[in-house]
Amino acid sequence: MTSPNPHDLPRIDEQRCWDLLRSHAYGRLAVAAAGVIDIYPVNHGVLEGSLCFRTAEGTKLASVVVGRDVAFEIDEVADGVARSVVVHGRAEVVEDAELLGRLDGAGVESYAPTVKTVWVRVTPERIDGREFEVGPEPPRE
């Protein structure tokens, strides 16, 4: 018997992925810029089929992420079950006044004690998730 391929782990359907994204306030945003790959922890919210987070004007995060393809990931291990959701999409600054008003009322709170006035929206192009029971690695052949 061969070991299972990690790509064969049970996938989560898109609705379950969105439910998990809504239930987690914290994730990691990955971006490649100028030949450097970086990962940023961000508090996020879900609004109208996209991920949104705040950042400070003029920060490295705001200048590096906006207008780029990004990946966003949440994960957890709870009660013997591992879950992971990855969203691939493009990041854009939110400038629409109506959307900004809804985002300001969405309850996204930063863990860092800094003022963040710029909303960034990640419009998904692909969402993928996995969910499986945690267990030992099977024997190798």
Residue-wise pLDDT tens digits, 67-98: 889 999 999 999 999 999 999 999 999 888 88
Residue 132 resides in a domain = no
pTM of the model: 0.84
Residue-wise pLDDT tens digits, 31-54: 987 788 889 899 999 988 899 998
> How are strands ordered across the β-sheet holding 69-78?
36-43, 26-33, 69-78, 81-93, 118-133, 50-55, 45-47
The pLDDT of residue 2 is: 41
Radius of gyration, alpha carbons of the chain: 17
Residue type, 51: L
Residue 135 resides in a domain = no
Residue 138 resides in a domain = no
Range of the domain at 59: 6-126
pLDDT at 29 over 90: yes
C-alpha 46 chain-centroid distance:
10
The answer to whether the beta carbons of residues 44 and 51 sit under 8 Å apart is: yes
Calpha distance 132→75 (Å, rounded): 12
The pLDDT of residue 26 is: 92
Calpha distance 68→91 (Å, rounded): 6
Residue 65 resides in a domain = yes
Residue 131 resides in a domain = no
Residue-wise pLDDT tens digits, 88-136: 999 999 888 888 888 877 778 877 788 888 889 999 999 999 999 988 8
- Domains: count for the chain: 1
